[in-house]
Amino acid sequence: MKKTIVKTIAFLIPLLLILAMIDLASFTSVGDAVLSKVFMSQNYRHVGSMVASPAIKSAQTESSHTKVVLGDSMFTHVFAEFGVQNDDYLILGTNMAVTVDGQYILARLFLDSHPKATDVYLVLLPVSFAGRYDSAQSYSYLIEPFGRAQTLSYLSEDTINGMKSHYGSLFLKKNVIRFLDGSSINNKIYLYYLQKHVNKADNNDIISDEAAYYLKDLSEICKERNVNLHLLPPPVCDSADNADRINRLKEATKNTDIEDLFDKYFECISLYPEYMFMDGHHFKSEYLDIQTRSDCIDDMQNKSGELQGLIHKVE
């Protein structure tokens, strides 16, 4: 029996050392690139952090910008390339999976680092109001980048407790997040575990409780700081699903504390032909040319009367 135990230990120690060395190698850029291919984890390589972390850093960095424009991936497709043309508007596009919680944090970071701020714009698809911190991609897009930046503290205690309940308190700690986010292998293992063993999010929301709460709270904070908060839609696919969602969103926000925020939102929705979209929400690549994107911004400016002075030259 003792010989068996000794042999088992003798076998396990080298194996564990090899696994530890592989894991350590995955924290280097070269090692992660190679190992992510070997272990088929390319799709887990800092995906959310690559989207959200630059926006977090920009929002925190003091600059001459007095207006910030935040939005989901459709907003990013349309607006991102024009960021360098603007000195007054700071354009920070992310993804629906960041959720309104993440957009709220970005807005708060901008307000705290830009004391002369005058305007906050949220440009979100109707479907983006349904995003929740416990949806499929939100650990990668919300928890990892905002947790690493230690900015989740902007969220309410109830939200943090909900996150802890869903993901486990351990996986909201900065060092644990860095351990997962720093290696595509570790990220894949944990996200796979979430997919298989953690209760799935309710995706039937039209507007999540968190989205409604943070829109209201951001509105109040902006009023306190004499900052204007604007809620606008990017281009929306003219589909039956979106028509139904828009109608249900109107009903869901009617007679609520955030109804006024949505007045202009619904008035300004521009519907584009379904053939232009690849998935009902995002333009096909052939409609992402700079002229089309500039025309979309023209349409938004003309229809809403907002974003005046935002430069979007076709050069």
pTM of the model: 0.89
**Distance separating alpha carbons of residues 291 and 286, to the nearest angstrom:** 11
Residue 136: HSE in the Cβ half-sphere, 13 Å Cα cutoff: 4
Q: 117-163: per-residue pLDDT in tens?
A: 999 999 999 999 998 898 878 888 999 999 999 999 999 999 999 99
Supply 99's token pair. Answer: 């959720």
Beta-bridge partners for 91: 69
Q: What pLDDT is stored for residue 179 in this prediction?
A: 76
**Distance separating alpha carbons of residues 266 and 274, to the nearest angstrom:** 19
Q: What pLDDT is stored for residue 305 in this prediction?
A: 94
Sign of CA dihedral 261, 266, 272, 273: positive
Q: What pLDDT is stored for residue 44 in this prediction?
A: 52
Q: 172-207: per-residue pLDDT in tens?
A: 998 888 877 766 666 667 777 777 655 655 556 899
**Distance separating alpha carbons of residues 28 and 34, to the nearest angstrom:** 10
Q: 4-52: per-residue pLDDT in tens?
A: 554 455 444 554 454 445 444 445 555 455 545 544 545 555 677 889 9
Let me know: does 137 contact 195? Beta carbons within 8 Å: no
Name the percent of the chain lying above pLDDT 90: 68
Q: Which of 88-97, 129-138, 304-313 has the lowest mean pLDDT?
A: 129-138
128 closest CA partner among 76, 56, 187: 76
Would you call 35 helix, strand, or coil by DSSP?
A: helix
Name the percent of the chain lying above pLDDT 70: 79
Average pLDDT over every residue of 278-299: 94
**Distance separating alpha carbons of residues 59 and 50, to the nearest angstrom:** 15
Q: What pLDDT is stored for residue 53 in this prediction?
A: 94
Let me know: does 109 contact 151? Beta carbons within 8 Å: yes
Residue 290 has pLDDT above 70, yes or no: yes
Q: What pLDDT is stored for residue 7 in this prediction?
A: 45
Q: What pLDDT is stored for residue 176 in this prediction?
A: 84
Where do we find the tokens 């280097």?
A: 28
Residue 292 CB: number of other CB atoms within 10 A? Answer: 17
The length of the chain is 315
Q: What pLDDT is stored for residue 18 in this prediction?
A: 46
pLDDT averaged over the chain? 85
**Distance separating alpha carbons of residues 254 and 262, to the nearest angstrom:** 9
Q: What pLDDT is stored for residue 282 in this prediction?
A: 93
Would you call 149 helix, strand, or coil by DSSP?
A: coil
Q: Which of 183-192, 224-233, 243-252 has the lowest mean pLDDT?
A: 183-192
Q: What pLDDT is stored for residue 4 in this prediction?
A: 55
